[in-house]
Amino acid sequence: MSKPIHVTSEIGKLKTVMLKRPGYEVENLTPEYLERLLFDDIPYLPIIQEEHDYFAKTLQDEGVEVLYLENLVAESLTNPEVKDEFVSRMLQESNMTSPRTYENLKEYLLSFSNLDMVNKIMAGIRKNELDIEKRKHLYELMEDHYPFYTDPMPNLYFTRDPAAAIGNGLSINNMREPARRRESMFMEYVIKHHPRFAGHDIPVWLDRNYNNPIEGGDELVLSEEVVAIGVSARTSAKAIEKLAINLFKKQDKVKKVVAIEIPSCRAFMHLDTVFTMVDRNSFTIHPMIQGPGGKMNIYILEKGQDEEHVTISYRTDIQEALKEVLNLTELDLILCGNGDEIAAAREQWNDGSNTLAIAPGVVVTYDRNYVSNQCLREHGIKVIEIKSSELSRGRGGPRCMSMPLVREDI
């Protein structure tokens, strides 16, 4: 029986991917809460959906099976006890601590069909959705003061971040930003209760209870033996070391974890916003992540003397470090914006380095990053462009918007 999760590289032919179609969570973004909800502008729902559908169709036309998170979650909740537990946990993690409010919201959510309930949880619950006679607390009556019981989750269409596939298992992530923390709970239910995944005993290399943050945008599976992880605004060095220890212990394939430090800022929030693999020996890179003389802080973690420790060695040249861990003699670093200072900054802001490889040397990118796209083509990469006016407003590109579940080995 083939494994429901199998990812041994960033570039192997993509067979199955998980997306989330932007929904009403996007309609619950208001200017006041944009920053906290990690958006820079408000996308126009019909167009962001149209662009997302185009992305999904582009992948399907390339032979990729597209699964949707919202459907997978709904299909995981057919057992009433599981559904009840899921709703309870979601409300608890949404800080619904007043017993009266908690019971009212639970009853409200359970009155929907599974899919409508999941969409409602993702969209957030507005205070005015509950009958006025059920609202007994002062804060419940003050809709203008804060309109929501439970916050919307507008970042869900970035399926890359809450969990990451490594080999046949996952890291299910403790996400750094409060606005995103609940997102990784969905994947827990999917692998435990969805018929496609349950019964396969999918290993979880690091779970969301681990108390230091890590996000999937920082986790890049370079080969069966090598995982690169960004030390970033979102991912901590402690989580990287713990994940490395668990991989070396529980999974005999991964031999090296390469921790790559990037500047901690909004534009470069994850490693994949500045660095992605596009072919066996080609990567995109945003020149601004390299310090004077091209130097960076790179640490190679390998199995230590005992199971609970790793050995760590230091490198500063990313090109040389990648050649070393991947056993390559040549390695091409393709510069975002073709290295032009203005084009690189502009296009990185709209995810010019954030490519989704669907096969070795074949990537999906945003159409708006035309300088970077042309540069990729000049380096022999096949570039398939997708529309990007509204999708890009959430500060993520094609890699961020996709969670590969199955890739062919390379």
For ligand CIR, which residue of 120, 160, 181, 242 counts as binding (CB under 6 A)?
160
* Torsional sign, CA 205, 319, 159, 360: negative
Contact (CB, 8 A) for 297 and 271 = no
For the record, the structure tokens of 369 come out as: 């990053």
Catalytic residue among 265, 336, 375, 400: 400
For ligand CIR, which residue of 10, 51, 140, 161 counts as binding (CB under 6 A)?
161
Kindly state the DSSP code that residue 298 receives in the 8-state scheme: E
- The CA distance from 277 to 297, in Å, is 19
CB-nearer residue toward ligand CIR: 31 or 80: 31
- The CA distance from 278 to 106, in Å, is 45
CB-nearer residue toward ligand CIR: 156 or 245: 156
Q: Which stretch binds ligand CIR (CB under 6 A): 5-13, 106-114, 357-365, 391-399?
A: 391-399
Contact (CB, 8 A) for 218 and 273 = no
> Quick check: helix, strand or coil at residue 244?
helix
> Quick check: helix, strand or coil at residue 312?
strand
- The CA distance from 383 to 314, in Å, is 34
For ligand CIR, which residue of 23, 162, 394, 404 counts as binding (CB under 6 A)?
394
**Which candidate, 180, 186, 126, places its Cα nearest to that of 153?**
180
| Beta bridge partner(s), residue 150 | 125
> Side chain identity at 4, as an amino acid letter?
P
Contact (CB, 8 A) for 359 and 8 = no
Site string for ligand CIR, 167-206 (x = CB under 6 A): -------------x--------------------------
Question: Could you tell me the smallest distance in angstroms from the CB atom of residue 132 to ligand CIR?
Answer: 34
> How would you list the strands of the sheet with 362-366, edge to edge?
356-359, 362-366, 382-386
Rounded (10°) CA dihedral 194, 195, 197, 201 = 110
CB-nearer residue toward ligand CIR: 178 or 291: 178
Question: Could you tell me the smallest distance in angstroms from the CB atom of residue 158 to ligand CIR?
Answer: 4
CB-nearer residue toward ligand CIR: 271 or 371: 271
Rule CB under 6 A: is residue 155 a binding residue for ligand CIR?
yes
Q: Which residues contact 256 (CB under 8 A, 6 or more apart)?
A: 225, 226, 227, 300, 301, 302, 325
Rule CB under 6 A: is residue 286 a binding residue for ligand CIR?
no
Site residues for ligand CIR, window 36-65 (CB under 6 A)?
38
Residue corresponding to tokens 């370079």 = 222
Rule CB under 6 A: is residue 21 a binding residue for ligand CIR?
no
What per-residue string of b and e applies to 42-67 under the rule 16 or more CB within 10 Å gives b? bbebeebbebbeebbebbeeeebebb
CB-nearer residue toward ligand CIR: 20 or 270: 270
CB-nearer residue toward ligand CIR: 43 or 86: 43
Contact (CB, 8 A) for 62 and 358 = yes
Rule CB under 6 A: is residue 94 a binding residue for ligand CIR?
no
CB-nearer residue toward ligand CIR: 21 or 160: 160
Rule CB under 6 A: is residue 273 a binding residue for ligand CIR?
yes
Kindly state the DSSP code that residue 6 receives in the 8-state scheme: B
Number of other residues whose CB lies within 10 A of the CB of residue 81: 8
Rule CB under 6 A: is residue 400 a binding residue for ligand CIR?
yes
Q: Which stretch binds ligand CIR (CB under 6 A): 63-71, 94-102, 285-293, 394-402?
A: 394-402
Rule CB under 6 A: is residue 270 a binding residue for ligand CIR?
yes
Question: Could you tell me the smallest distance in angstroms from the CB atom of residue 22 to ligand CIR?
Answer: 12
- Supply angle C-alpha 254, 255, 261, rounded to 5: 95
Rule CB under 6 A: is residue 407 a binding residue for ligand CIR?
no
Active site residue 375: no
Rule CB under 6 A: is residue 395 a binding residue for ligand CIR?
yes
| Beta bridge partner(s), residue 333 | 283
> Quick check: helix, strand or coil at residue 259?
strand
Residue whose CB is nearest to ligand CIR in the complex, by number: 217
For ligand CIR, which residue of 67, 221, 269, 381 counts as binding (CB under 6 A)?
269
Site string for ligand CIR, 200-239 (x = CB under 6 A): -----------------x----------------------
CA 73, distance to chain mean position in Å, is: 17
Question: Could you tell me the smallest distance in angstroms from the CB atom of residue 266 to ligand CIR?
Answer: 8
Q: Using CB under 6 A as the criterion, which residues of the chain lie in contact with ligand CIR when the complex forms?
A: 38, 155, 158, 160-161, 180, 217, 269-270, 272-273, 394-396, 400
Indicate which residues carry an active-site annotation.
400
